């Protein structure tokens, strides 16, 4: 595979909710990374899927990515994107600005292995536009900021950039990870995020998630 460049311009410095803050450290010291809890197992995910409100997707009226401020500061010079890159990689080296300068990353969506951050995106498991159409349009900006920078659920993933771009804002009825062995984890994570945030799902989306959970 060849290198692909990723344009990154959306950098926010708004603070993350208190639940995401950790003890301060010197800017040049890499932060202590605490992995988020994994999604619930397949049996619990099926129960949670049944509890998610079934409703058609809403409109995109009023939507923009700026409605979900990201990437927010986690600690010192580390924003959410850099935090997740370090969390998800192996032997990651960071500079004084917390930017990953080297490391090794394996994309769970397609199995791609990368050593250059430019080949990577940080994916929102439930895309921002998908969340908007599922109920986030009624949230406060603070709630949307929490959603876009959530380190406490299975919302943020380091993945191959062009695979993430092919996903876009599609739900599982319209897009699934190329790596079928990841479908169980993908569905569990998607359900967990929507359930946690009280977002709705349409009928086709629920059918696709049910099929994917059957692989667990």
- Mean pLDDT check: name the lowest of 27-41, 133-147, 198-212: 27-41
pTM for the full predicted model:
0.83
> Distance from first CA to last CA of the chain, Å, rounded?
30
How far is residue 117's CA from residue 55's CA, in Å, rounded to a whole number? 38
For residues 17 and 200, give the distance between their C-alpha atoms in angstroms, rounded to a whole number. 24
Distance, CA of 30 to CA of 101 (rounded, Å): 12
Q: Taking the CB of residue 34, how many other CB atoms lie within 10 A of it?
A: 10
**Residue 91: CB partners within 8 Å, gap ≥ 6?**
102, 103, 104
Residues 95-124 pLDDT 10s: 999 999 999 999 999 999 999 999 999 999
For residue 30, what pLDDT is reported?
A: 39
Alpha-carbon distance 129 to 170, whole Å?
A: 9
pLDDT tens track for 66-75: 999 999 999 9
């Amino acid at each position: 595979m060849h290198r692909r460049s990723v344009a990154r311009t959306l950098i926010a410095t708004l603070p993350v909710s208190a639940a995401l803050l950790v003890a301060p450290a010197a800017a040049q010291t890499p932060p202590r990374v605490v992995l988020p809890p994994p999604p619930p197992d397949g049996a619990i995910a099926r129960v949670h899927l049944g509890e998610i409100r079934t409703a058609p997707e809403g409109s995109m009226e009023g939507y923009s990515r700026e409605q979900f401020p990201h990437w927010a500061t986690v600690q010192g010079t580390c924003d959410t994107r850099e935090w997740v890159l370090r969390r998800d990689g192996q032997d990651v080296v960071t500079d004084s600005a917390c930017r990953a300068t080297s490391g090794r990353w394996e994309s769970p969506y397609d199995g791609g292995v990368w050593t250059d951050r430019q080949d990577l995106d940080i994916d929102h498991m439930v895309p921002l536009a998908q969340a908007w159409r599922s109920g986030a349009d009624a949230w406060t900006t603070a709630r949307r900021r929490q959603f876009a920078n959530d380190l406490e659920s299975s919302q943020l993933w380091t993945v191959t950039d062009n695979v993430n771009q092919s996903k876009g804002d599609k739900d599982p009825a319209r897009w699934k990870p190329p790596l079928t062995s990841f479908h169980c984890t993908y569905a569990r994570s998607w359900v967990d995020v929507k359930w946690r945030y009280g977002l709705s799902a349409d009928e086709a989306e629920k059918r696709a998630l049910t099929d994917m959970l059957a692989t667990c």
